[in-house]
Amino acid sequence: MMIKYSRFIGRLGGLALSILVLLAIESCTSESIPKPVGYYRIELPPDTFATFASEDCPFTFHHHIMTRIQPKREKCWYDIHFPYFKSMIQLTYLKVEDDNLESLINDAHNLAFRHTVKADGIKEKLFINPDDQVYGTLYNVFGNAATATQFYLTDSSNHFIRGVVYFNAAPNEDSLRPVNEYMHKQVEILMESLRWE
């Protein structure tokens, strides 16, 4: 009985060894599959807003309370920094004078469409608020362009604002998508809340 048991153990050990050898040979010939690139989950802050107003500038708008608004050298030019996302909205204010409105609108349009080299597409959305005399266009640039959101606003007679969103990062549509969407929403809120003084 002891002999039969040891033969059984011997055969079982030989079978196990054979299986291990076959698995080792097979594992050396199969290609390894790389893991897909993953991106960090980005927590978006809750929407809480304040109103920006300056005695020197003829406009007001709502901005997220987590932003830092930095004036530039030119009067009524601002960088609205979003430190959490390492991004900013750059605002440029110009007075409409001597029938230059068409030129200002064409410049804003041309600056947005300069990104067609890298962009997969550009979507334009008209913005019309006749009650407050705020009109403009919002440009959504798709693909790995340097800026995914641009816009301009005007009252068609005295005021013109151009804005653009920049990131302190290399353009990568996949990794920046949630933040791009968030910043696009922030621009829409700015556009909807802008009032001329």
Rounded to 5°, angle at Cα 23 from 18 and 27: 155
For the chain, the average pLDDT equals 87
d(CA 191, CA 70): 19
Tokens of 113: 């469409």
The residue with greater pLDDT, 182 or 24, is 182
pLDDT, tens digit (0-9, with 9 covering 90-100), for 138-167: 999 888 877 889 999 999 999 999 999 998
pLDDT band at 100 (very low <50, low <70, confident <90, very high): very high
Query: Is residue 101 scored above 70 in pLDDT?
Result: yes
The mean per-residue pLDDT over the stretch 104-125 comes to 88
pLDDT band at 33 (very low <50, low <70, confident <90, very high): confident
Q: What is the pLDDT of residue 170?
A: 75
Q: What is the pLDDT of residue 10?
A: 62
Segments making up each domain of the chain, as ranges: 1-30, 49-196
pLDDT, tens digit (0-9, with 9 covering 90-100), for 64-90: 999 999 999 999 999 999 999 899 999
pTM exceeds 0.95, yes or no = no
CATH 3.60.15 is right for the domain spanning 49-196 = no
d(CA 51, CA 60): 7
Pick the range with the lowest mean pLDDT from 30-34, 48-52, 101-105.
30-34
pLDDT band at 179 (very low <50, low <70, confident <90, very high): confident
Residues 6+ apart with CB under 8 A from 79: 69, 70, 72, 88, 89, 90, 91
d(CA 141, CA 159): 25
| Greatest Cα pair distance in the chain | 112
Q: What is the pLDDT of residue 138?
A: 98
